[in-house]
Structure 1
Amino acid sequence: MSRTHREDKPAHGSGGPGRSLSLRHASQALTPAQMEERALIRRSSVARPEVDAFREIRTRLLAMTTNNFVALVAPVSAGCGGSFVARNLAAAMAFDETKSALLVDCDLRHPSQHTTLQIDCSKGGLTDYLEDPAADLGDYLYETGMPGLNLIPAGAQREAGAEYFSSVRMRLLLDSIRSRHPDCYMFLDSPPVRGAPEARILADLADVVILVAGYGQDSPEAISQAAANFDPEKFAGVVFNQGV
């Protein structure tokens, strides 16, 4: 795929939405300077190569599917910019005013999206929702300041995510949002493929998988080994990320 050059609320218990989630609203939109601080791409009248790169990947993903999708963005190894790519693929989807994007931070050991996006997630996030059968997802859905882009942060840090991601509640969470919000596209920010099983488990929940390799960091052998973990029917390709 392309190279980048930078780095309803759901119902209680079952995970099904009750009240409607507000997925396109942003109570206070970010300024261009604030988006730059948060490493978020933005629309501009001036051509920007990295923005065009993310738009091109978005177009390819949409061509692969007929409905809204769940996309897993999985880095080959730590530090190659998987979170940057996941965040900006979601942002590129939100450029389209007929669509919304939900970014889900699934890196429970080293969550970063809420920090980068400068969001106070003291109410909790994904792990808190999955641990509490009575929880309402709307309490863990945060505006990013970019219309159409929302975040579910990782929540309380955990050393292992396999049990969380293989749970029925996790599957119901994704299925219910997708079925009730046909304009919402979900992007799962995964832990690195190497060294842990979480990416493989999350791939079972996803419709498409994007592998992120650090340009000059991950060897061809490491990339091939990481790609072999995923179903070829779901595998969209490799994004080579230069800088994070």
Structure 2
Amino acid sequence: MKSAYQVLGLPANAAPEEIEAAFAQVQAHYTREKLAREDGAIDQLEQARIAHQVLRNPDTRAAHDRKLAAARAAAPRRVVIEVAEPEPSPFARFFRAGIAVVVLLFLAGGLLSWRNADLRAQAAAAEKAAAEIHAREEKERLELQAREDERRRQEAARADAAERRLRYESQSIAADQNWRNARSEEYAAQQRRQEAMSRESARAAEERRLQYEAQRRVAEDQRRVRELCWQNYGRPNC
């Protein structure tokens, strides 16, 4: 079994920066298209992720190093004896080929199912994102409509208040003008009454003057008649 260092292609004394750089390189290598196209790519990426988790933590890395040291110390020296295998029969070769085809078909079906599941997940994520965008846009639209309705309500309230104020001012101006007109008419009527009274007083004074003048002329005429009667007839009455 490979160690975590072998999975990431690192030496045993690799620094933390080298571990992060190696794992970033593995992630960049195994793109989504490569994972869908190559057999075993998912397993290799998962092994690299596990190796990265082991080596990035000092405690798990130390435990891993101790396990490797113990395994190297306890490993016996093995002698490999190669035994020549007999030539397989045509039926065995056909059987193995059939098994390989079945395995490939099974892997292809699993890969296709995984890819379909990934596509469905992407479609669901896209649909969810579109629903969230639509909900956000609808919320923004409702908030904008609410603000617009509030603005229109305030404008209508201000216009109504201005109209009431203008109507009140117009009524006040009209009432003041009516009062002024009434005062002017009353003053004019009073002036006319005073003028009429003045004319009546002047007419009465003139009548009294004329009456006085008439009486004075009559008295003067009577005096002259008495004087003539006295001069002519020696008596006051002729």
Shorter-chain TM-score: what band? under 0.3
Task: State the structure with more CA Rg.
Answer: 2
- Greater per-residue strand proportion: 1
Q: Tell me the TM-score normalized by structure 1.
A: 0.19
Q: Which structure is richer in relative contact order (CA contacts within 8 A, separation 6 or more)?
A: 1
Higher helix share goes to which structure?
2
TM-score by length of 2: 0.20
